[in-house]
Amino acid sequence: MNKLSVDNLIGIKNLKKQDIDLIFKTADHFKEIINRPIKKVPSLRDITIANLFFENSTRTRLSFELAEKRLSADIVNFSAAQSSVKKGETLIDTANNILSMKVDIIVMRHPNEGAADFLSKNVDARIINAGDGAHEHPTQALLDSFSIREKLGTVKGKKIAIIGDILHSRVALSNIFALKLQGAEIKLCGPKTLIPKYITKLGVAYESSLEKVLEWCDVANVLRVQHERMDIKYFPSVREYTQLYGINKKILNAINKDIVIMHPGPINRGVELTSDVADSKQAIILNQVENGVAIRMAVIYLLAQQIKR
Site string for ligand NCD, 125-164 (x = CB under 6 A): ------x-----x--x------------------------
Q: Which helix (H) or strand (E) holds 109?
A: strand 105-110
Which residue number, 43 or 140, has a Cβ lying nearer to ligand NCD? 140
Instruction: Find the shortest distance in angstroms from Cβ 295 to ligand NCD.
Output: 12
Counting contacts by CB under 6 A, is residue 59 touching ligand NCD?
A: yes
Query: Which residues, at least 6 apart from 143, have a Cβ–Cβ distance to it below 8 Å?
Result: 288, 291, 292, 295, 296
Concerning whether 87 is annotated as a catalytic residue, the answer is: yes
Concerning whether 137 is annotated as a catalytic residue, the answer is: yes
Site string for ligand NCD, 83-122 (x = CB under 6 A): ----------------------------------------
Cβ contact 130:53 at 8 Å: yes
Site string for ligand NCD, 207-236 (x = CB under 6 A): -----------------x------------
Distance CA 12, CA 17 (A): 10
Which residue is catalytic, options 70, 109, 135, 149?
Answer: 109
Which residue number, 74 or 290, has a Cβ lying nearer to ligand NCD? 290
Counting contacts by CB under 6 A, is residue 60 touching ligand NCD?
A: yes
Query: Which residues, at least 6 apart from 243, have a Cβ–Cβ distance to it below 8 Å?
Result: none
DSSP state of 60: H
Distance CA 259, CA 282 (A): 7
Cβ contact 144:110 at 8 Å: no
Cβ contact 189:162 at 8 Å: yes
Residues that bind ligand NCD (CB under 6 A): 59-60, 131, 137, 140, 170-171, 224, 264-265
Q: Active-site residues: which are they?
A: 59-60, 87, 109, 137
